[in-house]
Amino acid sequence: MSDAGNRFRTLLGHRLFWPVAVLVVMLAANTVYRPGFLSVEVNNGHLYGTPIDILRLSAPLILVALGMTLVISTGGIDLSVGSVCAISGAIACLYISRAPDQDNLVTVLTALAMALGAALALGAWNGVLVSVIGIQPIIATLILMVAGRGLAQLVAEGQIITINSGPYRAIGLGHLLTLPLAIFIALAAALLVAAFTRRTALGMIVESVGGNREASRLAGIRSGRVVFLVYVVSAACAAIAGFMMTANVSSADGNNTGLWVELDAILAVVIGGTSLAGGRFYLGGTILGALIIQTLTTTVYAMNISPQTALLFKAVVVIAVCLIQAPAFRAKFRRRRSGTPPPPQSSPQRQKEQVPA
C-alpha cells in the first residue's frame, strides 16, 4: 500500500474526520442552495451574516455541552441541564423584573449571581445524589429534569416573565469587537474549562474515574469529589446558557427555556467523539458537535421548514453520525467495501490511530 494511501486511511480514521466532513458538506450544500450563505458584512461596526449567526446561536449549546462533556466523561449523564437553564433564567428575570431600574448594572449582576448560586445548589444536589448516595446518574438527574420544570414555573408563578434590561439583553445580543458577545462568553467558557481540565490533572482524573471508578478509588483518587464537581460545573454552564437563552428573547418561560437542550448537548458530545460510557473526553469535538447541530438548525430555518420538522433532519444526522462512529458499523462497511481482508500491517495501525493520545 502506498504511503499516500496509508495517510488517507489515517485521516479517515481520525476521530474528528467525520464530524468535520459533515460540517463542511452542510456548509457547502448551503452555499450551493443560497450563494450568499457564507457572506459576512459589516453594519454599524458589527459583523452580520449567517456564519456569525450560527456562532452566536450555538453559544448556549456549546456552554451546556462543555459541562455535559465532563459529566459524560465520568461515566455519568446530566439530563437536568434544560431545567437548570429554565430555573436560572427565571430567577434572573424575576429579580430584574422586580427591580425599580432594570438597566442598573448592579441589579443585573445581583440577579446573575443569585441565579448562578441557585444553579450551583441544583448542581450540588445532582452531585450529592450521584456521588454520595450513589444513584445512577441518568436517574438522579431525571428527578431534577422532571421536577425542575415545575420549579421554574413555580419561580415564575406560571407566567412568562418579560423584562426590559439593556445589560441583560447584552448577554445574548450584545457585541464586542464587532462580534456578538455571546461568542466570547462561549469561547471564554471553553478556554476556562480546557485550562481547568488540561492544565491541571483534573482532566486525567475525570477520565480515570469514568474509565474505572473502583480502580481510581483504590489508586487514592477521591472519586466522589470529582464526580460531585463535574455536576456542579455542568449546572454552572447550564445557568450561563440559560441567561443567554432568556437574554435573546428578553423573557423567561419556565416551560420552554432550554427545552430539549440536554438532548442536543448529549448529541454534541457524542458527535465530538466522547463515549457515553465514560473515559476519554474531547472538548474540541464537543464544540464541533454543537456547531454541526446549530448549522443544521439554521439550514432548516433558511429553507423555510418549520422548526419541528427540523427534528426529522436532526434524527437523520444523529443516526448518520452514530452509525459512522459505531465500530460495529465501520467493520461491516469496511468488509463489504474492500471484499478482501485489509493487509495485516494496516489494521493495527488503524487501531492505533483511532486511539487518541
Partner 1 sequence: MTDSRPVLTMTGISKSFPGVRALHNVDFRLFPGEVHALMGENGAGKSTLIKVLTGVYGIDEGTVTLDGEQVAFNGPMQAAAAGVSTVYQEVNLCPNLSVAENIFIGREPRRLGAVNWGEVRRRARQLLARLDLDIDVTAPVASFSLAVQQMVAIARAIDVQARVLILDEPTSSLDAGEVAQLFRIMRQLRDEGIAILFVTHFLDQVYGIADRITVLRNGALVGEYPIAELPQLALVEKMIGKELDVLELMEEHPRQTATATEGGAPFVQVSNLGRRGAVAPFSLTIHAGEVVGLAGLLGSGRTEVARLLFGADRADRGEVQVDGTRTGLRNPVQAIDQGIGFCSENRRAEGIIADLSVRENMILAMQAARGWLRPIPRRRQDELVDRYIKALSIRPANPEMPVRNLSGGNQQKVLLARWLITEPRLLILDEPTRGIDIGAKAEIQKLVVQLSDGGMAVLFISAELEEVLRLSHRIAVMRDRQLVAQLDNDDTVDADRVMQTIASGAEHEEASR
Partner 2 sequence: MSSLSISAPSWARLPRRHMPVLATLALLLVMYGIGVSQYRAFSNIQVVFNVFIDNGFLLVIAVGMTFVILTGGIDLSVGSVAAMTAMVSAWLLQSGLPALLVLVIALLIGPTLGFLMGCAIHFFDIQPFIVTLAGMFFARGMCTFISNASIPINDGFWTTMSQYRIGDPRGNFVSISVLVAFAVVLIAAYVLAYTRLGRNVYAIGGNPQSALLMGLPLGRTRIAVYTISGLCAGIGGILLSFYTLSGAPLIAIGMELDVIAAVVIGGTVLTGGSGYIFGTVLGVLVLGVIQTLITFDGSLNSWWTKIVIGGLLFAFILLQRLIGIRYK
- Bridge-based pairing of strands 160-162 and 46-49 is unpaired
Question: Residue 219 binds what, of partner 1, partner 2, none (CB under 5 to 8 Å, by partner type)?
Answer: partner 1
Task: List contacts with partner 1 (CB under 8 A).
Answer: 199-202, 204-205, 207-208, 210-212, 214-222, 226, 279-280, 341-342, 344-345, 347-348, 351-352, 355, 357
Does 133 bind partner 2 (CB under 8 A)? Our answer is yes
Question: Residue 29 binds what, of partner 2, partner 1, none (CB under 5 to 8 Å, by partner type)?
Answer: none
Does 146 bind partner 2 (CB under 8 A)? Our answer is yes
Does 158 bind partner 2 (CB under 8 A)? Our answer is yes
Strand partners for 41:
48
Task: Give the residue with the Cβ less far from partner 2, 122 or 181.
Answer: 122
Minimum distance from CB of 330 to partner 1 (Å)? Answer: 13
Does 304 bind partner 2 (CB under 8 A)? Our answer is no
Task: Give the residue with the Cβ less far from partner 2, 12 or 147.
Answer: 147
Task: Give the residue with the Cβ less far from partner 1, 56 or 213.
Answer: 213
Binding residues for partner 2, rule: CB under 8 A, are: 77, 129, 133-136, 138-140, 142-151, 153-154, 157-158, 254, 263, 266-267, 270, 276, 306, 308-316, 318-319, 322-323, 326-329
